[in-house]
Structure 1
Amino acid sequence: MDHLVTVLAFALLCLLYAALRARNRAVLADLPGPRPESFLMGNLAELHKEEAGKADFRYQAEFGGVARIKAPFGVDMLWICDPKALQYIYQTSGYNFPKQPERRVLSGLMGDHGLTWAEGETHKRQRKVMLPAFGSPEAKALLPVFDHYAEQVTLKWREIIEGSPDQTAVLNVIKLIAPATLDAIGEAAFDYKLGCMENSENELAQAYSSLVAGIFSSPSKSKLFWISVAHYIPMRVAEWLYANLPGKGLDKARQNKRAAHTVARQLLDSKSEALLQSKGSRDVMSIIVRANTSENEKTKLADDEMIAQMRTIMLAGQETGSNTLSFALYELARNPHYQERLRVEIRTMEQAIRERNGITFTASDFDGMPFLQAFVREVLRYHPAVPHNYRQAAKDDVIPLSKPIRTLSGKIVDEIPIPKGTRVTLSLAAYNREKDIWGEDAHVFNPERFLNFSGKRGPTVGVFANILTFSGGIHACIGWRLAILELQSFLVQLVSNFEFGLTEELKRLRRENALVMVPTLEGEPEKGVQLPLKISFAAQC
């Protein structure tokens, strides 16, 4: 009897695949796209196992802004980097292109049912409560926190270099930066001192150490296959499987959840008590707790949702911050003339600060440093922390295109009708290299583009400098202002004090696709994230 039920369930699944494939094929079959590796794997392996962006750039060069790609069992999906199509999906359509359910399950694994998991009315309600904590004045008020931890990194690196024979050391910068960015987000977001820099044995520090890379980098084909076909499993079932199945990566995620929940519950209690005593602080969570109390019972966040936001903020703030800063230092090492130009600008601003009897940089000082602004923008464009977003059509729809494409049958079309349920991979990596937006040298790291360009190319897509690294529309990264301030603060401190050079190992640098983009070295996946740079003291004027 059990065997019969299994056979019938499998047959039903096959019929479902066949029906979906036939429906999608009727609409999407005429679109060009890359040849799939196999019927079982489709294009998943090349898109997710290669270095982040490599397959995207091939698709972009061969097919333009849109291509038909294959999921397992020959199911058609869309790959998109066309600016007008992205604007339509992110900005115009709102919640008509929700996140794919299998991707929401992964978000839940890393951040519970927080903002990156939520959709529709739940997402709207959560974002409304959280928005007051992420405005420009609120972000600027937290700059001293970032400055403090940038100084702590500087002191630690100075100590290491002073103890080196030739006053030069090779440091795996991402491993040394990650505890500082976690400490910074802990204090900025929660007014809580995690102490990760002082104590690497700290449970929370260990729980976040190489978290995303440890779970998602170098995924096997079987893992990619099951993530994709989980699309057809009810979300509650998929979440139960992730919560209970054995596996090294899943164990790491569960360890992170336990450690983060312990701290998050303590923080929620202390913030709520402080608010009752009218002692609320200016950290992110205090503002969210205060905003939540003003909501009515139907719209306010429950305790488990508040805890989920804490976990989401810690993950997003730590992973993307440390990775982006590491790639920024790599580009300075790779381009010494940019490093020197940035250092000259920093020295000039340091002199201006002394002349006004100031002590440290302000957000306005950062705004007054044009090359710093250009360099930060170019790092975010060239090294997007998240290479892809994943959506699906909630209804039959028609997506407009910036440039017409030629279909396989020879038609020239400037819009694409897609059926309800079609899965869409939005390529942030390829959009950030779109030549119509960024110029013919879009595949070259060149901060000058943000100094020389006046005006606007293409539709508005991204929330910052029209770069899509922070996503766009209703799902844009809520903490993008904090992220930029943190990056600027650390860059100014580190470039002011140190000179960065390349190492031989960096010839094997991989931009690893692990949901977020992380630096690793070819042939050494077991060592996790690596970005070794040669560091010495910068000349002081």
Structure 2
Amino acid sequence: MSPDVLSSTIRSASEVLAIIWTYVHLGQWRTIDAAIACATIWILLQLLRTYCRRLCTTQLRGPPNESFLYGVGQRIRSARDAGALYEAWAQEYGPVYAIPSTLGTQRIMLCDPKAIAHFYSKESRTYIQTPFNKKSFAIYYGKGLLWAHGEDHRRQRKSLTAAFSVAAIRQLTTTFYDSAYKAKGAWDVLIESSGGDSALIEVQSWMNHISLDTIGLAGFSHNFGALEGKHASVTEVFDTFTTSPRAMALNKGLILLGQVFPLLAHVPTSRTKLFQELNVAMEEISNVLLARTKKELEMGVIGGKGERSIIGLLIKGASGNSGFRLTKDEVIAQMKLLLVAAYETVSISLTWALLELSRHPDVQTRLRNELLAHGTDPTYDKLTDGLPYLDAVVHEILRIHLPILEVTRMAVEDDVIPLSQPIRTKFGKLVNNLTIAKGTLVAISMESMNRSAAFWGEDAKVFRPSRWLEDKHGQNGIPAKAKEIPGHRHLLTFVDGPRACLGKNFALTEFKVVLTVLVKNYVFELRDGVNSKIEIGRGVFPRPKLAGEVGCQLPLRARPYVASG
């Protein structure tokens, strides 16, 4: 069947739907009969559209379909290392391939650097969030930056840019230090009260609270008091994400089916209920902070040259006549997104860092020596470009332990994606580019690209920070193939293009500050030794946990560092 014939069939079926409902309104057909008929026709329409898209898209090789209902989706979601699974498929089928998805649909996976660069350059215009994801983001966070695309996205992003500038983050560095030293003070008390020279510290929750208090102060000039044990509704909900295994049990089938039936985003589950509680808590806080900040701006208390909070700068910018003003709902949406993003991503990265340093005492010692040799707390400029081993450790963590593992977008117009090298299609033909039909799902596994042996070498999955230093001295550091990958430092952790992470500089600076304070002052060890079994738990995003612990707990032994001699 040709695409033209299929298009004609789809139009005819749509006309039939209209006729059915006309008869219902005229009372000549029972509503239940009409509903069944319409549901049947609608499903057939979806299948026809799927088939039509496939005919108009380059036919690619890929893994066999394991289930008509879910494709290979269940296998991916249950995999211990989904990135390795994608990597294996890329080795077998080529740097771009098709994987079976829900109800006969497919996703085009991009593992080719040139194709990925093209994809990111057109993200938010040609490739946008899937309808299911857009509905979910609107429900959970509001219609903010994560939800928007096209001109709406450009306007919102422009409004936020000044709040994340180098000058703004430089001023926030002291806030990052304040939170880190609050944690240190609390840890010193715990160690002293333990009656020994060390104490078991559940670092996951402490990193969560450092991140939450930091974004409260840096983002909204508001102290959540998590590090001081104060009760706050948002703290309670965030903690539930990492301590309630039942609440974190994903309804995998619902999420997979949602890519075909977007309205399933509204179906209540234990996870969506928790997100709704988080949404209510964040909206309450956001409304209070927004009203207070606006009042202070009107009174001239904040908003001048000394204003440091992100929301203060955002409201100040949104109040101007730049043409990029945000509505109140959009401002609140950015605040809710900022809370979740800053809380989750930085706390996860810090937890992974302390875990890897505990696994690799030699790396921990080398990092501590560099920090101690510097002496005083590093300034923003020194953190950015003056502590090479700290920088190497941070980027190695971001390379192998990403908070967000993959991304899927839908093409809203036909496109042609260029390739770095020719590939062989499903029918054996060599092509230099991909034809993508409107409506096709295109995806990237950032985890796979960051850890692929084809790009990073045989030790790609090994935590080895020195690779970032060797490259500067002409040694075997970052392979030439890896340098073809777009993104910050050839990593897809912060993605790329118009949707590249706006808070990258914020996250990197906070990450380095907290790591500096903790590593200078403590020696970390795994509770059960370097061979302790680590599992992946689930908060909003995947997190490390010590095997056997409830929720996402990761207890490490910390003892104050005492210089020898």
TM-score (norm 1): 0.90
Matches within 5 A, 1:158-237: 158-199=188-229, 201-211=231-241, 217-231=248-262, 233=263
Task: Give, in angstroms, the shift of residue 460 of structure 1.
Answer: 5.7
Conservation of the 8 A alpha-carbon contact between 1:180 and 1:197: yes
Which of 533, 536, 539 aligns to 2:559? It is 536
CA distance in 2: counterparts of 1:388 and 1:152, whole angstroms? 34
**Which has the larger displacement, 117-126 or 404-413?**
404-413
Q: Which amino acid aligns with 2:67?
A: S
Which of 184, 189, 210 aligns to 1:154? It is 184
Task: Give, in angstroms, the shift of residue 371 of structure 1.
Answer: 0.4
Conservation of the 8 A alpha-carbon contact between 1:212 and 1:514: yes
Conservation of the 8 A alpha-carbon contact between 1:388 and 1:427: yes
Matching residue of 2:5: none
Matching residue of 1:472: 496
Conservation of the 8 A alpha-carbon contact between 1:71 and 1:228: no
Matches within 5 A, 1:58-457: 58-92=88-122, 95-199=125-229, 201-211=231-241, 217-231=248-262, 233=263, 241=266, 245-279=267-301, 280=303, 281-295=307-321, 299-350=324-375, 353=376, 360-366=377-383, 367-435=385-453, 437-454=455-472, 457=482
**Which has the larger displacement, 176-185 or 200-209?**
200-209
Cα deviation 1:475-501 (Å, max 9, x = unaligned): 111111000000001101111111112
**Per the alignment, do residues 35 and 267 of structure 1 end up closer, same or farther by CA in structure 2, a change over 3 Å counting?**
same
Conservation of the 8 A alpha-carbon contact between 1:211 and 1:253: no
Cα deviation 1:186-238 (Å, max 9, x = unaligned): 1001111111222353212112225388698542332233332234x4xxxx6
Q: Which has the higher contact order (CA 8 A, sep 6+)?
A: 1
Q: Which amino acid aligns with 1:17?
A: Q
Which of 486, 490, 497 aligns to 1:461? It is 486
**Per the alignment, do residues 246 and 389 of structure 1 end up closer, same or farther by CA in structure 2, a change over 3 Å counting?**
closer
CA distance in 1: counterparts of 2:175 and 2:143, whole angstroms? 28
**Which has the larger displacement, 20-29 or 476-485?**
20-29
Conservation of the 8 A alpha-carbon contact between 1:28 and 1:68: no
Q: CA RMSD in A?
A: 2.4
Secondary structure of 2:489 counterpart: coil
Q: Which amino acid aligns with 1:308?
A: A
**Per the alignment, do residues 144 and 267 of structure 1 end up closer, same or farther by CA in structure 2, a change over 3 Å counting?**
same
**Which has the larger displacement, 497-506 or 246-255?**
497-506
Matching residue of 1:35: 64
Cα deviation 1:413-461 (Å, max 9, x = unaligned): 3321111110112111111124454334222221112111148654462
**Structure 1: gaps spanning 5 or more residues:** 354-359
CA distance in 1: counterparts of 2:365 and 2:289, whole angstroms? 43
Sequence identity percentage: 30
Secondary structure of 2:536 counterpart: strand
Q: Which amino acid aligns with 1:322?
A: S
Matching residue of 1:357: none
Task: Give, in angstroms, the shift of residue 85 of structure 1.
Answer: 1.1
Secondary structure of 1:9 counterpart: helix
**Which has the larger displacement, 450-459 or 530-539?**
450-459
Task: Give, in angstroms, the shift of residue 260 of structure 1.
Answer: 1.0
Count of residue pairs brought into register by the alignment: 520
Q: Which amino acid aligns with 1:388?
A: E
Q: Which amino acid aligns with 2:171?
A: A
TM-score (norm 2): 0.86
Cα deviation 1:379-407 (Å, max 9, x = unaligned): 11111110011211121111122233332
**Which has the larger displacement, 435-444 or 210-219?**
210-219
**Per the alignment, do residues 378 and 9 of structure 1 end up closer, same or farther by CA in structure 2, a change over 3 Å counting?**
same
Matching residue of 2:49: 20
Computing the radius of gyration over CA atoms, which structure comes out larger, 1 or 2?
Answer: 2
CA distance in 2: counterparts of 1:368 and 1:481, whole angstroms? 16
Conservation of the 8 A alpha-carbon contact between 2:118 and 2:417: yes
Secondary structure of 2:128 counterpart: coil
**Which has the larger displacement, 385-394 or 503-512?**
503-512
**Per the alignment, do residues 225 and 98 of structure 1 end up closer, same or farther by CA in structure 2, a change over 3 Å counting?**
closer
Matching residue of 1:493: 517
CA distance in 1: counterparts of 2:309 and 2:237, whole angstroms? 23
Matching residue of 2:16: none
CA distance in 1: counterparts of 2:31 and 2:242, whole angstroms? 38
